[in-house]
Structure 1
Amino acid sequence: MNAEERPASLEEELVAARKEISTDSYPMSIGELTNLYRDGELVIRPAFQRLFRWDSDQKSLLIESILLGIPLPSVFVAQDNEGRWELVDGLQRISTILQLQGLLTDPHFPPLVLSATKYLKHLEGRTWAKTPNSERALSEAQKLDIKRAKIDVKIIKRESSESTKYDLFQRLNSYGSPLSAQEVRNAILVGVNPAFVEWLQSLARRDSFVQTTALPDKDVSAKYDEDLVLRFLWLHRATDTSTASLRQFQDRLEAEALSMARRHESDAAELERVFSETFDLLASAGGANVFRKWDAQRARFSGGFLNTAFEVIAMGLGYRIARRETFRTDILAAARELWEQEDMTTRFATGKATEQRLSLMLPKGRVLMALH
């Protein structure tokens, strides 16, 4: 067996994997990090900044910790090709510090007004500077204490691969973070192509998509609408829909998302054409009913949004539109036929894994939505 045929040893895998990521680490004061942000050398992408969602008590507890000298966890940044640092992990902490100083550009986050904490009851109502609405500013000594407090900064150097940066962000945010899969995805995609993320979000806000999916507020807050858009953009044109090709579905979706972000400028117009035409047709044909289950006994659609119906109806129709082939326009009739098929009860109800379900539903939709 020659070297090319011999399976890699653990040590060889370690050597290869370590080449994928290059890091550095050193402590910086809050004042230094603040200056980097002011100078545009520490970047918080707009789509990432919208994930900032600590409440006033959580923010005040962080400031209490800084004032008491309690060490803060490390923050992670990724160096871009221009040498700037893009925030990868530590959004809540860094954004709180910037909001306290009145430096966040997002109008949803005015300068922070602190709340009383367990050890510092007199933080109540305190601000960084005196304002017409607040005369209870922190003292100059207290502000210097904050500026001089240290945070350990882990730097992912620019020679590291994008996929490795993505994987690192996922891992960091699996340790107790409440971010959804799509929020994590967006946070790293903005470092690849922020225009792609803004575009993805604009598709999720399209009236016809909102009308047909009719997702509850909690799902929209967790960016599940954007997750569905991303799934549609990939799967409506997937050439291989076998279970094997869809295995480790979340990893595949993330890889496809990165690929789409890189090709955004060349692919966006055609993808938007297919997306818009598909959901405009679905909205005009039946609105939210197209993604609900048909209740034959009551002769009506009932319940809420179902992934199964989305995968069959939307992706089946999108497949035909993308290929510029004829398709059915009696969409509600097609939706009823879907649920009247004998295999739908067992296939729908047995809780199959995502890749198993998709390998069944995607081909079904392509046949169902064809004009016979």
Structure 2
Amino acid sequence: MTLEDEIEQYRRKIATDSYPMSIGELANLYRDGEIDIHPEFQRIFRWSDEQKSRLIESILLGIPLPSVFVAQSEKGIWDVVDGVQRMSTIFQFMGILKDENGEPYKPFLCAETPFLSQLKDCSFEESDASIRSLTSTQRLDFKRARVDMKIIKRESDNRAKYDLFQRLNSFGSMATPQELRNCLLVSLSDKHYKWLANISENPAFLEVIDLPERLINERYHMELALRFIFLHGIPQEKLSAVGNIGDFLTAEIVPFVDYDDDRLAEEGDVFTAVFQLLLDSGGADTLKRFNATRGRSEGPFSLTAFEAIALGIGFHLPGESPTPDVVQKKRVKLWGDSRFSAGHATGVRADQRMKVTIPFGRNLFAN
């Protein structure tokens, strides 16, 4: 296949359109629920007041804005892929932005800007909180300002949307890898994102992994849930080709959104059963290193234990589950193996470690 053939083949997977729209038109689409800027992203892509104010100043000065990329859902709704913070800032300034619970945000007051000194503490419309507001003429000019919209049509495949999202959002972002995966997942299937968010809040799971608040805030618990879903039943031959674990998890988002309700229910049942068993088997200690000499658990949550114990049990479910006593005996056996002795795996890449831990865990809980 020539380069030209490859270009043509890939282009057929992406159906796009492009046209300018006024801010007023976009605001009407937002009010009618026809454009989704994903308010759950606000914590991830949060601009400072200075950044927001410079955007408002740019619009008032007539400075062209970068294109906003949206993906058209099956229902025709536009999901913002790139431009979440720009759209959020504009809508908050206009006083129409709502949070994920449908509650309105407090309208944004501009901070000091480089060129328009009178924009400081200025609001879109008159309010008690602002010193000044835009005039009616300025509001009309603001609403008539145009934004170039790039639309990925719904006939485009999910792989194309995935590639575009990666290219637009991976460089220079302050978001964690899992936060970016969450954004990608929402843009592909809100249903699957909500399913993942729900199982990640399972009380037994959270108690067993026992993560510090910082990692919870960075959504590492959601990454661990994805690792479980994608790895507990992975075929042995595919395990050897995982490579970088972060890239693997992100790539697996695309086939994940094809899981039907029955598959999601089955995965949810296995997930719940495994972490309830681990909770009954010793709680947070179960996935920590066990020091046989001292007869106690040590240190924080251990990925080695997660891969060998949690994934090992999950591999054999649904089916007969081991008892908590058996889990504890298998755990002692795990840490008694020289391959998992203290410090032995320090610095080993995740994919190299998993080639040992995952098969070991499957064998460990085979009988």
TM category (shorter chain) comes to 0.7 to 0.9
How far 1:243 moved relative to its partner?
Answer: 4.3
Q: Which of 230, 233, 244 is residue 234 of structure 1 equivalent to?
A: 230
After superposition, the Cα gap between the structure-2 partners of 1:368 and 1:318, relative to the gap in structure 1 and judged at 3 Å, is same
Q: Distance in 2 between matches of 1:207 and 1:342?
A: 33
Q: Which amino acid aligns with 2:4?
A: E
Q: Distance in 2 between matches of 1:264 and 1:47?
A: 24
Report whether the alignment pairs 1:89 with 2:82. yes
How far 1:168 moved relative to its partner?
Answer: 0.6
Q: Distance in 2 between matches of 1:191 and 1:364?
A: 37
**8 Å contact kept, 1:241–1:363:** no
Q: Distance in 1 between matches of 2:34 and 2:328?
A: 53
**8 Å contact kept, 1:47–1:186:** no
Q: Distance in 2 between matches of 1:160 and 1:115?
A: 40
Give the aligned partner of residue 325 of structure 1. Answer: 320
User: Which sits farther off after the overlay, 87-96 or 174-183?
Assistant: 174-183
User: Which sits farther off after the overlay, 174-183 or 88-97?
Assistant: 174-183
Q: Which of 107, 110, 113 is residue 114 of structure 1 equivalent to?
A: 110
Q: Distance in 1 between matches of 2:104 and 2:196?
A: 21
After superposition, the Cα gap between the structure-2 partners of 1:357 and 1:125, relative to the gap in structure 1 and judged at 3 Å, is same
Q: Distance in 1 between matches of 2:238 and 2:16?
A: 38
Q: Which amino acid aligns with 2:350?
A: T
Encode CA deviations 1:163-214: one digit per residue, 9 max, x unaligned.
1111110110122122333223222323443122112111111111111222
**8 Å contact kept, 2:109–2:123:** yes
Q: Which amino acid aligns with 1:86?
A: D
Q: Distance in 1 between matches of 2:133 and 2:85?
A: 22
Q: Distance in 1 between matches of 2:28 and 2:349?
A: 48
Q: Distance in 2 between matches of 1:332 and 1:99?
A: 53
Q: Which of 250, 263, 267 is residue 267 of structure 1 equivalent to?
A: 263
Q: Distance in 1 between matches of 2:104 and 2:276?
A: 32
Q: Distance in 2 between matches of 1:229 and 1:333?
A: 25
Give the aligned partner of residue 211 of structure 1. Answer: 207
How far 1:97 moved relative to its partner?
Answer: 0.8
Give the aligned partner of residue 294 of structure 1. Answer: 290
Give the aligned partner of residue 356 of structure 2. Answer: 360
Q: Distance in 2 between matches of 1:61 and 1:216?
A: 36
**8 Å contact kept, 1:47–1:198:** no
Q: Which amino acid aligns with 1:90?
A: G
How far 1:306 moved relative to its partner?
Answer: 2.4
Q: Which of 3, 21, 25 is residue 28 of structure 1 equivalent to?
A: 21
Give the aligned partner of residue 135 of structure 2. Answer: 139
How far 1:284 moved relative to its partner?
Answer: 2.9
Give the aligned partner of residue 278 of structure 2. Answer: 282
3-state SS in 1 of match to 2:300: coil
Give the aligned partner of residue 121 of structure 2. Answer: 125
3-state SS in 1 of match to 2:281: helix
3-state SS in 2 of match to 1:159: coil
How far 1:77 moved relative to its partner?
Answer: 0.8
Q: Which runs of 4+ in 1 moved over 6 A?
A: none
Report whether the alignment pairs 1:103 with 2:96. yes
Q: Distance in 2 between matches of 1:10 and 1:83?
A: 33
After superposition, the Cα gap between the structure-2 partners of 1:69 and 1:214, relative to the gap in structure 1 and judged at 3 Å, is farther
**8 Å contact kept, 1:112–1:127:** yes
After superposition, the Cα gap between the structure-2 partners of 1:65 and 1:337, relative to the gap in structure 1 and judged at 3 Å, is farther
After superposition, the Cα gap between the structure-2 partners of 1:120 and 1:283, relative to the gap in structure 1 and judged at 3 Å, is farther
3-state SS in 1 of match to 2:79: strand
Q: Which amino acid aligns with 2:68?
A: V
3-state SS in 2 of match to 1:303: strand
Give the aligned partner of residue 2 of structure 2. Answer: 9
Percent identity for Structure 1 against Structure 2: 44
Runs of at least 5 residues in structure 1 that lack an aligned partner in the other structure: 1-7
1:31-70 correspondence runs (5 A): 31-45=24-38, 47-48=40-41, 51-70=44-63
Q: Which amino acid aligns with 1:329?
A: P
After superposition, the Cα gap between the structure-2 partners of 1:120 and 1:289, relative to the gap in structure 1 and judged at 3 Å, is farther
How far 1:161 moved relative to its partner?
Answer: 1.2
Q: Could you state the TM-score of these two structures normalised by the residue count of structure 2? A: 0.88
Aligned Cα root-mean-square deviation (Å): 2.6
**8 Å contact kept, 2:290–2:332:** yes
**8 Å contact kept, 1:79–1:85:** yes
Q: Distance in 1 between matches of 2:58 and 2:225?
A: 40
After superposition, the Cα gap between the structure-2 partners of 1:276 and 1:326, relative to the gap in structure 1 and judged at 3 Å, is closer
Give the aligned partner of residue 196 of structure 1. Answer: 192
Give the aligned partner of residue 334 of structure 1. Answer: 330
Give the aligned partner of residue 256 of structure 1. Answer: 252
Q: Distance in 2 between matches of 1:309 and 1:99?
A: 46
Q: Which amino acid aligns with 2:362?
A: R
Runs of at least 5 residues in structure 2 that lack an aligned partner in the other structure: none
Q: Distance in 2 between matches of 1:287 and 1:131?
A: 53
After superposition, the Cα gap between the structure-2 partners of 1:221 and 1:163, relative to the gap in structure 1 and judged at 3 Å, is same
Q: Distance in 2 between matches of 1:206 and 1:243?
A: 27
**8 Å contact kept, 1:208–1:280:** yes
